[in-house]
Amino acid sequence: MTEFALDLNDDQKQVRDWLHGFARDVIRPAAAEWDEREETPWPVIQEAAKVGIYSLDFYAQQFFDPTGLGIPMAMEELFWGDAGIALSIVGTGLAAVGVLANGTEEQIGTWIPQMYGDVDDVKVAAFCSSEPDAGSDVGAMRTRAVYDEGKDEWVLNGTKTWATNGGIANVHVVVAVVDPDLGSKGHASFIVPPNTTGLSQGQKFKKHGIRASHTAEVVLENVRVPGSCLLGGKEKLDERLARARERARAGGERLKNAAMATFEASRPAVGAMAVGTARAAYDYALEYAKERTQFGRPIIDNQGVAFQLADMRTQIDAARLLVWRASWMAVSGKPFTAAEGSMSKLFASEVAKKVTAQAVQILGGNGFTREYPVERMHRDAAIYTIFEGTSEIQRLVIARTLSGLPIR
């Protein structure tokens, strides 16, 4: 087990500095344009692919960092550049995590490379879980997958929503109900290969923030996929469903469903994204406060401004520590006995909203305009308390873990 340390090693520092340079030199100069266009920044994704950031190899190296800090460090630096563009670069990773968490070695080797494409022809992937009536309440999911034994195919029908890269993805990972009687325990994940008949893009959402990231509905109408596209395989699914039915009859502990396994693995990473956005707003506000003069002196000379910046930095550092702790615990196999993963996502998300709002306030009227980036950062930060489990859901998870009671 790797010892927990707060000091990055030389290799990690080199990667961090490399990512920071890409965020500074490539992502930031493009941020305002793609926010206004509300389109996927394909040229930036391609630049990330050219230097090796948008690739399976890069994310594998960070994912398997024995300290657990590779992914949160990478997320923080990229989202320091810009949240919308960074989400376009890393959004494929959520689908990849879905395959890594639930798939066989053959499925991992077959489908994850197709999610990224290559330098000359970059691709993206989408993880499709949420539905119009099933967001936090995954038990209300209606998308069905029915097995056609004669053809060894699964038939998917339903509508997914809030899917990053939904409809434009080369590969879609879809969570569907295979046994309605088991509620959220009767779910499974499926690969929908490129150009599969019956999958189409529904509404594309015009969002408040992260507007450079494509978010849309995904409509599935009699979508047929081979039996080999069931993540984990049918034998494993049948065994899992049998155990779930037995535990339901016994009133015992239930198994985690496929969607929640993916979200639990990614929550500290989302916290790191929030830390990156908060840090970007703090950095800009700090420099602005040093240079902006009122009443004959820099505004940072005023306690009202200086104390805000002190609080902002303190909260950012505290959020990073929670993220790093959860990431280290996950890679070390330590159980989240106090829901430390949810803690990290909850606190970092709330910090991002608060810090970006304070940055707008420090800039005053300038902070309220699109001529200054903190306005965009404030809009972007709103998503962190919403996606991959709202702050309210994180508090519910933490409270249930601490109390052992089914708090509602």
- Tell me the H-state helices in 23-154: 28-37, 42-51, 56-63, 70-81, 83-90, 92-102, 105-116
First to last CA, the chain: 36
- The DSSP call for residue 131 is B
**Pairing state between β 215-226 and 153-164:** antiparallel
Of the candidates 274, 300, 318, which has an alpha carbon nearest to the alpha carbon of residue 87?
274
Distance (Å, whole) CA 44 – CA 27: 7
Give yes or no for a contact between 80 and 277, defined as CB atoms under 8 angstroms apart: yes
Of the candidates 329, 347, 338, which has an alpha carbon nearest to the alpha carbon of residue 404?
338
Q: What pairs with residue 121 in β-bridges? A: 118
Distance (Å, whole) CA 72 – CA 327: 8
- Tell me the H-state helices in 151-221: none
Q: What is the helix (H) or strand (E) element at residue 401, kind and residue range?
A: helix 391-403
Structure tokens at 30: 């493009």
Structure tokens at 333: 């196999």
Give yes or no for a contact between 328 and 69, defined as CB atoms under 8 angstroms apart: yes
Give yes or no for a contact between 92 and 163, defined as CB atoms under 8 angstroms apart: no
Residues labelled catalytic: 388
Q: How far is CA 256 from CA 183, 186, 234, 266, in A?
A: 11, 10, 17, 15
Interacting residues of 24 by C-beta distance below 8 A, sequence separation 6+: 81
Distance (Å, whole) CA 63 – CA 50: 20
Interacting residues of 103 by C-beta distance below 8 A, sequence separation 6+: 111, 231, 232
